Amino acid sequence: MVVSEPMTRMGPILCTRGLQMRYGQGTGLVRALDGVDLQVAPGETVAVMGPSGSGKSTLLHLLGGLDRPSAGEVWLGGRRIDGLSERALSRLRRQHIGFVFQSFHLLEELTAAENVELPALLAGQSPRTARRRAVELLERVGLADRAGHLPSELSGGQRQRVAIARALSNQPLVVLADEPTGNLDSAATVEVLRLLDHLRAAGQTFVIVTHDARVGATADRLLTMRDGVLVEETRLTRGGNGQLAALAGLEG
């Protein structure tokens, strides 16, 4: 693992080493993360599953520079980020990380297009460039015809797709998603799954924390977390209709 050099195509885009997060002390000490080593390759979608309280949201917060670890390292794009100043971290988040949340976090007063262009504007893009990018992204998530709508005029699935478009605004190195289908019904979940699968195929890097097995199943690699440690890893390969046939009951 080469982490001290600038980002190379082959190296991980995001990685952690011995990541720990502790709260409280003495008998009240909680080890939310207890030594997590994670490597995410460029273009890879990694899903982290685990029961509530297993530490998966904490991990996502540390990956996104929303929190600082008690010990260990976080590297993004070949740069160590866990020790950055608050100001540098917030710039890094704005420019290189996309966030997708369970409850969408869209600004209700702004239209879909305005929500999507906001990160580009905050990153210093010209209004024209930002708008062009927003229109392009809304097209990509299949909502070009909803650009002028307020979030309240959109369905849950559409809102989450706007939020995903917004997360892509600055061409982030990685998109971090926390229970992206947690607030969606089954049909809207499929809408978002289709989009995630599409973006994954297009080479976007994702780390997704989820309870939802269907979301986990869109990943290239699936990790299970228990008690602050990664305990199980599976690479989800394509193909395998033989296995499918067995699952469907088409077996001898």
Partner 1 sequence: MGEPGKEAPSGYQLRVVQEVLLALLVKEASHGYELYARLQLALGPLAEALKESQVYVTLNRLEKAGLVSAERVGQTSGQERKVYALTAAGRERVMTWLDDVSWPKPAPAEFHLKLVAAATAGLADPVRLVDAQRHALLAGLAAAQRAGLAEPSESLSGLLLEGVVLRLQADLQWLEACARYWTSRREL
Of the candidate residues 135, 149, 226, 229, the single one contacting partner 1 (CB under 8 A): 226
Binding-residue total with partner 1 (CB under 8 A): 35
Q: Which residue type occupies 125?
A: Q
One-letter amino acid of 64: G
Neighbours of 118 (CB within 10 A): 17
Query: CA distances (Å), 110 to each of 45, 133, 178, in order?
Result: 30, 16, 23
Q: How far is CA 235 from the centre of its chain?
A: 18
149 or 198: whose CB is closer to partner 1? 198
Of 35 and 78, CB closest to partner 1: 35
Residues 6+ apart with CB under 8 A from 26: none
For partner 1, the closer of residues 203 and 239 by Cβ is: 239
Is 175 near partner 1 (CB under 8 A)?
Answer: no
Interface positions, 192-211, toward partner 1 (CB under 8 A): 193-194, 197
Residue from 11, 64, 216, 228 touching partner 1 (CB under 8 A): that is 216
- Distance, in Å, from the CA atom of 72 to the CA atom of 109, rounded to the nearest integer, reads 40
Binder of partner 1 out of 5, 86, 108, 251 (CB under 8 A): 251
Q: How many whole angstroms separate alpha carbon 159 and alpha carbon 218?
A: 20
Residues of this chain that bind partner 1 (CB under 8 A): 51, 190, 193-194, 197, 213-214, 216-219, 222, 224, 226, 231-234, 236-252
